[in-house]
Every structure is written in structure tokens, then in C-alpha cells.
Structure 1
């Protein structure tokens, strides 16, 4: 049989398929339980606004027709809302799609992208798939080190990816730091500013990338309707860039890459400011619930400005994750991001947050019991091993007499305590 791995491009063979958050249906099949809550994929717990669902219903009669491949109405709406010139916009099947379009235009063998440690997994995916080099800069306090990033830029660098806020850590770059970085970056190096969670940020020093694109021709800002607007299932996002860059991206964009229902939904979602603000309010209150609970449980966490919180379990997070699954609560383990002791938790509705907190407390208790039980078994096994063979013979004499007294009692007490 043909070895298809040998036929594939080298960059492809280095990749692993993207693993999304576990679907509710999958957990139902695996454990046979119902009443499951999913806090794994940073989705809006309120879902889309009612005007969005109505707009989708209005598209059903037109399903036999292709959508507007130019996304004319959506670009016009973005201009009215944010002052973005339509020629600067590239619309995609989620912001993942436009991130890949940027990479397809500007990356290839002999070129490189630079990313931060603990940054969104799609950046390495699109880089390596094109045979380009990936340079990873160590994080500072789980955030991007812009000074080290700047120092790493070489003649081969074509793209620097910056997630602001960063997923999965929730950290962010302030305006002055970003401006200083943009001023120093060579003009032939593109800076991709991923603002998937921008709507949730209330920090006064948070930079709005859409306001900066006009001043930096090498800046590309990506946004999505999947998070604060609640349209994750429809897959629609966009990039804003210099018109020449947008033109190049649209040359490699697939025809009709965004469906008609997605376009209609995004169009009206931009107008429903009340739903957006309610989503932000629910998120802010839920964030406080989770951080307060972590403080009470003695758990560390990374301060987040997104719609998720990354919690430090203080140990391997997988047993805690599995305990939560058994309780019908799906969160996100992030060992793939180099954070094996952490879990990322999406902010949910108040009742979902409370259920997570209660389940987390039980899962932590269960994982501690298992760890102690494992320690006891390991210690017991080591004692048995020590008592076997030549060591047991040595103990058969005077040393066995020593153990028969107070030391044997102490050893027995230690084993009970470890249990």
C-alpha cells in the first residue's frame, strides 16, 4: 500500500489535527448522562439575539441561491459601525479562516512567523502547514513578551501573531506597549492582531486595533462574531487591513466562503447593542463568581479580560477534568498549550457557574484522594520490596528486632496517615 505520509508536504506531517472542546453529545454517548453543561469553547452562554434568529429564518426560502460572495452589505454595515473602508475588509468563515488567508498569502518555505508561548494553536497550524518556520517566544506571566518578540525578528520573518486578549490565558497587551512595538517593527513584517475577545475588554488602556490600522499599513486586525455576538455555529469573522493586503487575501479566498445565513445574522447582530451589552454584563458577573470561588478554594488563576478563566489546579489537571466530566461539566484541559496543570473555563450563566464551582470542589477532593491513595500504595510497595531478597535477610537479624519495637509502630502510623 502507498505510504501517503511520504506524499504529503513536510509541514503537514508535523501537525496534529485540531482538537476542539468536547461536544455535549460525545459526553452523553461516553458516560450515558444527561443534563450536561459545556464551558469549554468560550461560547456566549446567552446565544444569539432574537433578531439574529429571526434573520436566519428569513433566509430559509433562499437556500437554493448562492450568498453574496463580496459580502457587500456586511462591509457596508462595518463601515457604518466602525468607520472601516469596505476595501480594507476580508470576510471569512470565522476568524480562523482569515488567519489562514493571511498565512497563505505571506508564508512559505524559507519564511517564518513568530508567536508567543501559550498562544492560540491555529497560528502554528497555519504556519507549519505552509512549510514555514515557527519561532516561539517564551511568555512573561503567561502573556506576550513584545521586547523579546521584536528582538527575534529576522530577514525571514513575515508575520508576527499577537492575540489581544490572548487565548487560552486571558492576558492582554496595553496600548502604549503595542504602539511602541508597531513603531519599531520593520514595515515589511506583518503584525496580525487577533481581537476575537475584544468586545469583552473594559480596561481603559486596551488598544482598539480597528482604530490603528489606518496608521500602520503592515497591521492586520482580525475579529469574529463567534464570541460576544453568539454566532459560533455560523462561522463568520473578518480581517481589516491595508487595501492592498485585503486585495491579496481576497485573491486566495474561496468563492462563497461565508454562507447566506451567516451574513444575514452578522448584519443584524451588529445592530443589537442591547444584546451585546447584556452578554458583557453576564460575563463580568460570572467572572467575579469564578475568581471569588478560586480564592475560597485556594486555587491560583490567571487574571483574564476575556470570557474565560484559566485556573491552576496545582497538580496534573486531567484527573480534575475527568472528575468534572463525570459530573456532567465540560471544561477545557490545555496541556496542548504547555499548561498541564491548568483548566480553561468559559464563563457561563449564573446557574452554570455555580454548578461548575460545586463540581470543581468535588473533583478536587476526588483527585486528592486518588493521589494520596496512590502515594500509600507506592510507599507500601517500596516497603515490601525493601523487605524482599537480601534486605529481608539482613532484617532477619538484629535489624528485624529493631523494627519490632517503636519503629514498626511509627511506620504503620505513617502508612495510615498517607491513606
Structure 2
């Protein structure tokens, strides 16, 4: 008799599948047709880029044709956007896809990665698939980076070091001075991945920011996504800026046609949608100010530079469940953050409903 438990790779038993926020379909099955305030997945509440929608609609008659296998036109558009060469751009099926490909490219059994804690779970997921060891370095008490502890965690077995700025789920940023200090001291054998999925929302002048000159470092890669600012989460398009030689090996492990035809067209158009980008950034800034009122009600908001805010509500899961019954969806249950909920910024009206719900519940 075939025994699945014995035949599959044994390390897979210890991997917990990623649990995304509830989808619209799941919520409507659970709550019926009542109004929903969906603030649990860091989606852009303004919707997708209108220019992207227009371009994708025009592309629909070509769905019988395979997409560009190398996403070359997307790479060229991204390269022009950042002022780099197309060879410095790698496009994936969302940044999650790229994180997994990086893991498959670099990691062997018993290698190590260093990552902040708490942070995005997919860094550890990629490592566990490859049977690598995850070394988690706690953030400071104010949820800012402790680069000295991160450096101390590096060993000769360390292959990857992840930085996320603004960090998910805390919204805090890595400072340029911290990044420079770390890179000056980090052993050259460590490949550094800086996840900048939310940097488009950040405003602090002293934060780490990408510049083309950084690509002179062969051991550095910066990740971006079209899911947040551009509102294209349903398309799954992400990209990396980094070393072409590293990318040449990542191409060896990626799936052919890993970015679909419609997604490629939408991504290219979204880069040109200046008005949508402006509105999305303005809404995030307004929302940050809107949620500051929670501090007056005894709920501490962690200062954020993203399109979400982490709030201390005493018991995150209890508050999550209570507001869920009202059709207000937040995120809770992060390891080490039992007292907190993460709230994605919505429209002004959605934010007001959430704030009122928190006042009643906490």
C-alpha cells in the first residue's frame, strides 16, 4: 500500500502552509451579503490602477497566446522606472515566488538564513522547504531593527539575510545608517535580500532607499511588488533588482511562463499611472493620521510608514473575532504579537467604522 507519510519529503511535515487573510468569497459565504470592511490583507482599497485595467482589457483577445517567457518588456519598463539595466531586473509571480526561487537557488540542507522577528513568514517558508535553518533576530522593543544582533547572528553557514522595510507586520523602517553599518561589516558570502514591498508608501528621509549605485554590491537584491501601491494583488507580479549573475541561476529554477500575459501588460501600464499612485500615497498618509486617535483611547499604534498599522488592543485574537462578527476584518495571531491586530488602511469611511468598532470592543 502506498504510504504518503513515508514517501513525501519528511521536512514538509514541519511546514505550516501560509494562511492568507480571508478572501471576499470566504467572507460572503460566512457573513452573507452584509457590508464588509476588509482591512486584513494590505490590499489597496482604491482598487487597481485604471490604466492597468484598460491595458489588460485590450489584451484579452490574445489569451490564446503564451506570454513572453522572460517578461522582457516588463523588465525593460521596470529598468527605465528605476534607472537600471534590464539585466538587473528579475520578474516573478509575485515577490513570494521570487523569495522561494532565491531559497531554491542558494540553500542546501543545514544552511542558515537570518531574518528579523516578527516579519514576513515567507522568508522562513522558503528556508524550510530547502531544509535550511532559520535564525530569527528579534526587533527592538519599539519594533525597529537591531542590526548589531543581526550581524552577531551570522555564521559561516549563513547564506541569506533578509531585511523588510517597512517591515510587515510592524510598519517600521530600516534606516540608511543602519543598512550601511550592517553592510560594511557583513561577511561577503552572505546574500542580502531587502524586501521593499511597502517602501512606496514610506516618507522618512533617513530610511533605506534604493539607488542604482547599490547594484555595485553583488550580494544585494531588493524586492518590489505590484500588489500594494498599484492595486494589482490579484495578478501576482513582483520583481527584484540585483545581480544579473545571481538572476541567471534563478532562471534555472523558475517555472517557464511564470508571469501570465495579462499580468505583464497590467504591470507595464501601472508604472505609468501617476494619478493612481498619487491618490494611493495620499490615502495612506491621511489614514495614518486618522488612526492616531486610537492612542487617546488607550490603544498604542506603532508608528508606521506602510499602508497598515499595528495596534496594541490587549488581546488580538479576541478583538479580531469580535469585529469579524460585525463584518470588519483585521489580522491577528502573529507569533510574538498576541496583544496586537494589524489593520490595513481603507477609505476614510471604512477607517471610521473600524475605529468605532475598536472603541466598542477594546
Bigger mean CA deviation after superposition, 28-37 or 146-155: 28-37
Give, in whole Å, the separation in 2 of the partners of 1:213 and 1:261.
31
The whole-number CA distance in structure 2 between the counterparts of 1:196 and 1:210 is 16
2:128 and 2:65 map into 1 onto residues whose CA distance is 36
Report the equivalent of 1:416: none
Q: How many residues align?
A: 361
Instruction: Give secondary structure in 2 for the equivalent of 1:171.
Output: coil
Q: Report what 1:286 is aligned to.
A: 287
**CA-to-aligned-CA distance 1:199-245 (integer Å, 9 cap, x gap):** 00110012223435323110011100000111000000011111101
Partner of 2:275: 274
* Counterparts of 1:242 and 1:49, CA distance in 2: 29
User: Would you say the 8 A contact 2:79–2:89 is kept in 1?
Assistant: no
**How many angstroms apart in 2 are the aligned matches of 1:3 and 1:339?**
38
Q: Corresponding residue for 1:378?
A: none
Please state how far the C-alpha of 1:32 moved relative to its aligned partner.
Answer: 3.1
Alignment of 1:362 onto 2:360 = yes
Deviations 1:178-199 (A, max 9, x none): 0111121111110000000010
Q: Deviations over 1:113-168 (max 9, x none)?
A: 01111010101111011111111112212233211111111111000011011100
Higher relative contact order (Cα pairs below 8 Å, separated by 6+ residues): 2
Distance 1:336 1:4, change over 3 A: farther
1:270 Cα deviation after fit? 0.6
What's the counterpart of residue 225 of structure 1?
A: 226
Q: Which residue of 2 aligns with 1:205?
A: 206
- The counterpart of 1:340, out of the listed 338, 341, 349, is 338
Name the counterpart of 1:29. Answer: 29
Q: Counterparts of 1:18 and 1:142 in 2: how far apart (Å)?
A: 23
Q: Which has the larger radius of gyration?
A: 1
CA contact (8 A) 1:33 1:328 kept: no
Output the CA distance in 1 between the equivalents of 2:322 and 2:134. 35
1:53 aligned partner: 53
Residue 132 of structure 1: aligned partner: 132
Compute the displacement of 1:13 (Å): 1.2
Helix, strand or coil at the partner of 1:340: coil
Query: What RMSD, in angstroms, separates the aligned Cα atoms of the two structures?
Result: 1.3
SS at match of 1:344: strand
**Structure 2, gaps ≥5 residues long:** none
Corresponding residue for residue 304 of structure 2: 304
Q: State whether structure 2 residue 362 is matched by structure 1 residue 325.
A: no
Contact 1:9–1:131 (Cα < 8 Å) also in 2: no
Describe the shift of the 1:3–1:362 C-alpha distance in structure 2 as closer, same or farther (beyond 3 A): farther
> Which 5+ residue runs of structure 1 have no aligned equivalent?
365-419
Q: What are the equivalent positions in structure 2 for 1:139-150 lying under 5 Å apart?
A: 139-140=139-140, 141-150=142-151
| Match in the other structure for 1:177 | 178
TM-score, normalised via structure 2 length? 0.97
- TM-score, scaled relative to structure 1: 0.84
Richer in helix (by share): 1
> After the TM superposition, which of the residue ranges 210-219 and 240-249 deviates more from structure 2?
210-219
